[in-house]
Amino acid sequence: EAGVAQSPRYKIIEKRQSVAFWCNPISGHATLYWYQQILGQGPKLLIQFQNNGVVDDSQLPKDRFSAERLKGVDSTLKIQPAKLEDSAVYLCASSLDLGIGELFFGEGSRLTVL
Amino acid sequence: AQSVTQLGSHVSVSEGALVLLRCNYSSSVPPYLFWYVQYPNQGLQLLLKYTTGATLVKGINGFEAEFKKSETSFHLTKPSAHMSDAAEYFCAVSESRGTDKLIFGTGTRLQVFP
């Protein structure tokens, strides 16, 4: 079974530039999550989708971050404009459905903002 | 609000020695608790989870954890460490049952010496 796919694995940009990350969850998984993992910290949930609807985006900095999952399958997370403090690993995860209690994570996209 | 505290950002053990990684949680409702492992340059992988029932939970790779409500703890143990156990370990609590919104601790890096 193919796992959660993310791209790009690494991205270096200058502050105020924009960046987009892509995630393809495990086939059939209804729930998709984007987490931000800053060096030395645990992952923090940015946004949670159930199919193509948003379940929780309370911790997404909406002035600069946006995410979509238009067809209920793959998802894109965008940052525009980027700030230095956005340097982190962006993890995508999926689960079969809500309440299952097991998330499957991708390898992450490491962003460095200079 | 739910929170997780992992005592010790780094733990070092000799190969064959007992592994003990500590996790304490705070939750206003009966918690769902998780341990995830992250190997270098890889995504997080579920080791084990507690939802209901037996308080001693067994996971993959010989790890187990015990839910102790009176101590609000969910410590991770393994009787005999192996070199391949070297990784970062994250404890997490589900913010509310059925949502799979996980609150992660800051992680504990396990080193295993020969």
Instruction: Give residue-wise pLDDT tens across range B4-51.
Output: 999 999 999 999 999 999 999 998 777 889 999 999 888 899 999 998
**Residue B67: strand pairing partners:** B74
Report the residue of B48, B96, B97, B100 to disrupt the A interface, i.e. the one with the largest count of A CBs within 10 Å: B100
Q: CA–CA separation, B60 vs A88, rounded Å?
A: 28
- Asked if residue B2 has pLDDT above 90, the reply is no
Task: Give the pLDDT confidence score for residue B28 in this predicted structure.
Answer: 77
Instruction: Give residue-wise pLDDT tens across range B46-90.
Output: 999 998 888 999 999 999 999 999 999 999 999 999 999 999 999
Instruction: Give residue-wise pLDDT tens across range A5-18.
Output: 999 999 999 999 99
Report the residue from B51, B98, B100 with minimal CB separation from A103: B100
pLDDT band for position A102 (cuts 50, 70, 90): confident
Question: Does the beta-carbon distance from A48 to B90 stay under 8 Å?
Answer: no
